[in-house]
Structure 1
Amino acid sequence: MINPSQGFNWHQLPPFFQDADAGSIRSKRRYFGQLRASLLLLFLAALCGAATFNIQGIDWAGALAALAFIGSIIVRLYIEQQRDERRWYECRAAAESCKTLSWRYAVCGDPFPESMSANDARRLFLSRLREISFGLEIVDVSTGTDVNEAMEQCRSSSRAERIEIYKTNRLMEQVDWYSRMATVRDKGSRRWRSCALAGELLGIIAGTLKAYGVVPIDLLGVVSAGVAGMTAWFQAHRLDTEATAYSLTAREIRHILSLLEENADADQWAKFVSQAETAISREHTMWAAGRRPRADLAE
């Protein structure tokens, strides 16, 4: 009997997954770095616009504000030109499609049942993988084969071993991951909402100080720009939406896990895997749908 800890797991997914995953992480990092720079430049423009710094008849604070606006425009044009946001979610969707396809293949789930010959299953898997990769912009090209030894070893093991591996390394692992990420996203959402609320309270103070002429500069505009920037950053991350989606997915997978039959026959097992993978893929499909997807996840 294979120990699940030594069986097929996400670390042994094919090179295509590793490449798409790396491309997604890199594009996401670049996109949010560019967005952060744009928002900081807009805040700098508001800060400079609230001050006055005259030298020889020129208000250099205003000039700096104008330069900050120009910089923000350049960054936004760069964001549009680089298309990192689009590349991020396309690579993410491709990586998750490859992951669900690999698990279906490795544990003999539909459309790769036990009754299918090894050559036919391999050809179908590679055909589906080509469909996923068509038109995808991935720079990384890892070594290895897309149908690797770990996948083949898992597929050739007994049904009882495959059931235990899938239960432990796929379903239970996903329940744990989604529940943890739901908590992380929820805490992040609450943190950003608290910051935005604090900024609005600060805006009330700034407005009051301006009304009574206590301070000579326009703090109200600066605070408003800061709150608007935080709101834009929060909305770009969609933390509250992801927290809800992740929590729902964790509960759904846990429900499916409770329906797993240890003594399922070949057909029942293939259908169960298809049902489970469809449930897992649903969250990724909904996530991609909110970001102008290129295609549904492969089934």
Structure 2
Amino acid sequence: MTEPTSPLFTWQQLPPFFQDADASSIRVKRRYFGQLRLSLILLFVAAASGAATLKINDKGVDWAGVAAAMAFLASLIVRFYIEQQQDENRWYECRTAAESCKTLAWRYAVCGDPFPESMPAAEARKLFVQRLRELSRDLRIVDVSSGDDINEAMERCRAADKAQRIETYRVGRLMEQIDWYSKTAATRDRQSRIWRTIALVGELVGVGAGALKASGVTSIDLLGVASAAVAGITAWLQAKQLQSEAVSYNLTAREIRHVLSLLDKDMDGEQWAAFVDEAEGTISREHTMWSAGRTGRARLKEV
């Protein structure tokens, strides 16, 4: 039989649970970083306003000081809102659920452990839904898409012969993940270098501002403004964890490539199920490290 020119199953055909968790993760992540960015900008505005003086007359109110106080207050309100919303934790939870569902769906579709091809169809479906229910417990996801938990693409892939399933998994899962991790690692590394360069420029500006103030050229505290800017950039870099993600993603891409090199198209059903289990375990380790690095406690749910 001729091998398919395209995978029978791809990540775009993952079940509604993944689509919901993925969409929630992306939305909550954007909201969290948007709020954090606003808070840091307000702190910078407060520092800049505090370094200046703006009076209508000599005995009037210093409106720059008022602006600084208002910016500090607004930043405090935003930070309080961030804590109340718990968007950071919701982002981790939804991302973990999405990746857990993804590995579960791939295991089912290509007859990997714990859904080997020897398992009766009804029993495999029952086990899949049971594992999916376990992922859903206490998960705060607003989105509820229509569709079946086990869709036609998953069933079509599972019913295909072993050669087609192996090729589908090789192209649609392993090669796709290698490509995604390698490209994303390069993007994270580039973003990290850009932000670190901006921070370095800010430090140099601070040195110049300090020299100007020391020499009496200006009385404005530009050093404090530059310090606030550098501190904000540093806080942003720590929140984004760009460099650590770049290193982690590069390592994961190499690990998946190592696993792909061991793929044998002559594996029997049991060997293939074990291979998929090892491959998915390799991919899952990155998500576990990501969650642990972010929260110190969250991890990819066992599937």
* Superposition TM-score, scaled by structure 1 size: 0.98
Q: For residue 193 of structure 1, what is the amino acid of its counterpart?
A: R
Match of 1:296 in 2: 300
8 Å contact from structure 1 (residues 101, 298) kept in 2? no
Alignment of 1:2-21 (within 5 A): 3-21=4-22
Q: Is residue 128 of structure 1 aligned with residue 131 of structure 2?
A: yes
Shift of 1:3: 1.8
Match of 1:262 in 2: 265
Match of 1:271 in 2: 274
8 Å contact from structure 1 (residues 189, 240) kept in 2? yes
CA distance in 2, matches of 1:174, 1:294: 22
CA distance in 2, matches of 1:31, 1:167: 35
Q: Is residue 79 of structure 1 aligned with residue 82 of structure 2?
A: yes
Q: Percent identity?
A: 66
CA distance in 1, matches of 2:3, 2:85: 46
8 Å contact from structure 2 (residues 182, 250) kept in 1? yes
CA distance in 2, matches of 1:64, 1:188: 32
Shift of 1:295: 4.3
CA distance in 1, matches of 2:81, 2:154: 41
Q: For residue 267 of structure 1, what is the amino acid of its counterpart?
A: E
Match of 1:52 in 2: 53
8 Å contact from structure 1 (residues 281, 297) kept in 2? no
| Structure 1 residues 6 and 266, CA gap change in structure 2 (3 angstroms) | closer
Q: For residue 284 of structure 2, what is the amino acid of its counterpart?
A: S
8 Å contact from structure 2 (residues 107, 276) kept in 1? yes
Match of 2:253 in 1: 250
Match of 1:150 in 2: 153
Match of 1:112 in 2: 115
CA distance in 1, matches of 2:149, 2:67: 53
Q: Is residue 283 of structure 1 aligned with residue 286 of structure 2?
A: yes
Does the residue aligned with 1:54 lie in a helix, a strand or coil?
Answer: coil
Shift of 1:188: 0.7
Does the residue aligned with 1:58 lie in a helix, a strand or coil?
Answer: coil
Equivalent in 98, 101, 118 of residue 101 of structure 2 = 98
8 Å contact from structure 2 (residues 7, 169) kept in 1? no
CA distance in 1, matches of 2:283, 2:30: 25
Match of 1:177 in 2: 180
8 Å contact from structure 1 (residues 185, 239) kept in 2? yes
CA distance in 2, matches of 1:295, 1:289: 6
Match of 1:33 in 2: 34
1:190-225 Cα shifts (integer Å, max 9, x gaps):
111111111111110001001011112110000000
8 Å contact from structure 2 (residues 54, 64) kept in 1? yes
Alignment of 1:221-232 (within 5 A): 221-232=224-235
8 Å contact from structure 1 (residues 4, 165) kept in 2? no
CA distance in 2, matches of 1:182, 1:291: 17
Shift of 1:58: 1.1
Q: For residue 263 of structure 1, what is the amino acid of its counterpart?
A: D
1:145-204 Cα shifts (integer Å, max 9, x gaps):
010010000001001110000001100111111000110011011111111111111110
Structure 1 stretches of 4+ moved >2 Å: 291-299
8 Å contact from structure 1 (residues 4, 169) kept in 2? no
8 Å contact from structure 1 (residues 203, 220) kept in 2? yes
CA distance in 2, matches of 1:49, 1:101: 54
8 Å contact from structure 2 (residues 13, 153) kept in 1? yes
Equivalent in 162, 187, 206 of residue 165 of structure 2 = 162
Q: For residue 213 of structure 2, what is the amino acid of its counterpart?
A: K
Alignment of 1:197-236 (within 5 A): 197-236=200-239
Q: Is residue 23 of structure 1 aligned with residue 27 of structure 2?
A: no
Match of 2:70 in 1: 67
Does the residue aligned with 2:263 lie in a helix, a strand or coil?
Answer: coil
Shift of 1:291: 2.3
Shift of 1:6: 4.7
